[in-house]
A = this chain, B = another copy of it.
Amino acid sequence: MPKGRGIRRITTVMNRLINSPKGFKAAGVHAGIKNQKKDLALVISDRPAVAAGCFTKNRVKAAPVLLDKEILTEGRAFKGIVVNSGNANACTGKQGMEDARAMGRKVAALAGCQPEEVFVCSTGVIGVMLPMEKIISGIDLAWSSLSSDEESGIAALEAIMTTDLLCKSAYEELSLNGSKVVIAGMAKGSGMIHPNMGTMLAFITTDAAISGSLLQRALSGAVEDTFNMVSIDGDTSTNDTVLALANGMADNKAIDFDDESYQAFSEALMRICRKLAIDVARDGEGASKLMEVVVEGAETMADARLIARSVASSSLFKAALFGADANWGRILCAMGYSGGAFDPDGASIALSNSEGREGLFMNGSPLAFDEEAAKRILSQKEVRVGIRLGSGAGFKATAWGCDLTYEYVRINGDYRS
C-alpha cells in the first residue's frame, strides 16, 4: 500500500453510517482471513427488508454474486448481508458456491430466517478457497457485536475495505409526507485494481417503506448514472455488487407508485450513489486527481454516456492530467473513438475548477488559450472537463475518473510479487 496517505476517517462519517437508518445494526470484526485487519462485516435489519441489487456484467462471476443474483427475487424479504474481505471466493468452482451458501446459512441460523434471505458478498484475492472455519467463527463474533452505535458502523465500513485509502460513506435524510426517512450507504473499491482486491461493493440501507420493484427501479437508475460512469482503468471486476435494503421502519406512507415521494426518494438515492461513486474515483489506484467529465448537448443519452466514459477512461488523457498538460487533442480523440455520435465541427472543450475556466476548443476549432492558466487548473486535485456538443438535443452525462500515475504502475506491477 502506498506510503504517506493513511486511511482518512473523516468526521462526516460519524453518526451517519450504514446502521443509522431505523432498525439496522452492523458489525465489523477480524475473522482471520486477513492479517490483523477487520475482514468480516454484518448488516442486519430488525425487520425483514425488501431489497434491490445490481451486479457485475463480467462473464466471470464470483460465487457470492451468483448466489445473490439467484436469491434476489421479487416479493422476498431479506434479513441482511454478510461480507468478507481478503478473499473474493471467485474462480473457486463448486466448493466456492458451497462456501458462499454456508456463509448465508450460518447467518440465517443466528437470525432465525431462511438462508435465501441473507445476501453474501466477498472481496479479495481470487482462486483461493475461503477459510470457512475462520469465517464461521467470525460470523458468530460479528453477530454478538451487532449494534446501531457509531463504533459498529465504522467497524463494518473498515471490514469491507481492501486497498482503499478513503472511507466511503454517504447519508441522506428526507421528509416524506411528514415522516423522516434516512438512507445511508457505504462502499469499498479503488478501481478494478489488484485483481479483485479492487472489487467495487456498495451497500445501501434505508428505513423507507417502498415496494421492492420501485426500490430496484430507483437503484438501477442511480447505478447507471453513478457507479457505471466511474472508470479507473477500464477493468470490471468479477465481484462488483450494489445492494440496497429497505425495511419500512420509518413508517412513511409506503412508496408504491411513481409519485412525488418516489421522486424524492430516488433523487436522494441518486445523491448517495453519486457520492460513493465519486469517492471510488477519487480513491482510484495511485490516483492523485479526480476528473469529472461532463458532456452536454448530445443527440441521445447513450451518446452522452459513451463520450463521457471514453474521455474519463483514456490512458492518454489520464496521463496528460497527471502531467497537468492541457492536451485537448487527446480529449477530442477519445470522443472520436467512443462510439458515441457527434459532429466534431460542433464540439467545444473547456477545463474548469476553483482555479477558473479555460476554453481549449470551440465549435470544431482550436482556441488560442492561456497555457499557464490551463496548467493551474490541471494542477488542482479536482478537474472538470466540460464538453459541449452542437446537436439540437440536450442530452447530458457525467463520468468520473482519475489520473494515470507512476504509482498506478508501481502498485499494479508489484502487487502479487
Interface-side segment among A28-36, A43-51, A53-61:
A53-61
In angstroms, Cα B61 to Cα A57, docked, is 32
Closest chain-B Cβ to A339's Cβ sits at a distance in Å of: 9
Q: Closest B-chain residue to A233, C-beta based?
A: B315
**Segment 338-363 of A: residues with Cβ below 8 Å from B:** 338, 341-342, 344-345, 361
Q: Is B417 a contact of A325 with CB atoms below 8 Å?
A: yes
The residue from B91, B313, B323 contacting A365, defined by CB atoms under 8 A apart = B91
Q: Closest B-chain residue to A236, C-beta based?
A: B337
**Chain A: interface residue count, which band?**
35 or more
**Segment 115-149 of A: residues with Cβ below 8 Å from B:** 125-128
Contact residues in B for A409 (Cβ distance below 8 Å):
319, 322, 404-406, 408-409
Most central of A196, A332, A364 by chain B CB within 10 Å: A332
Assembly of this chain: how many copies?
2
Q: Is B417 a contact of A324 with CB atoms below 8 Å?
A: yes
Q: Is B195 a contact of A57 with CB atoms below 8 Å?
A: no
Most central of A322, A324, A329 by chain B CB within 10 Å: A329
Contact residues in B for A392 (Cβ distance below 8 Å):
none
Q: Is A412 a contact of B316 with CB atoms below 8 Å?
A: yes
Q: Is B412 a contact of A320 with CB atoms below 8 Å?
A: yes
Q: Is A364 a contact of B91 with CB atoms below 8 Å?
A: yes
Q: Is A192 a contact of B333 with CB atoms below 8 Å?
A: yes
In angstroms, Cα B287 to Cα A315, docked, is 14
Contact residues in B for A341 (Cβ distance below 8 Å):
59
Query: Beyond A59-B342, A91-B365, A323-B412: 14 further Cβ-contacts under 8 Å?
Result: A93-B345, A127-B329, A235-B316, A235-B333, A237-B333, A238-B332, A315-B315, A315-B412, A316-B412, A319-B411, A319-B412, A319-B413, A323-B414, A325-B416
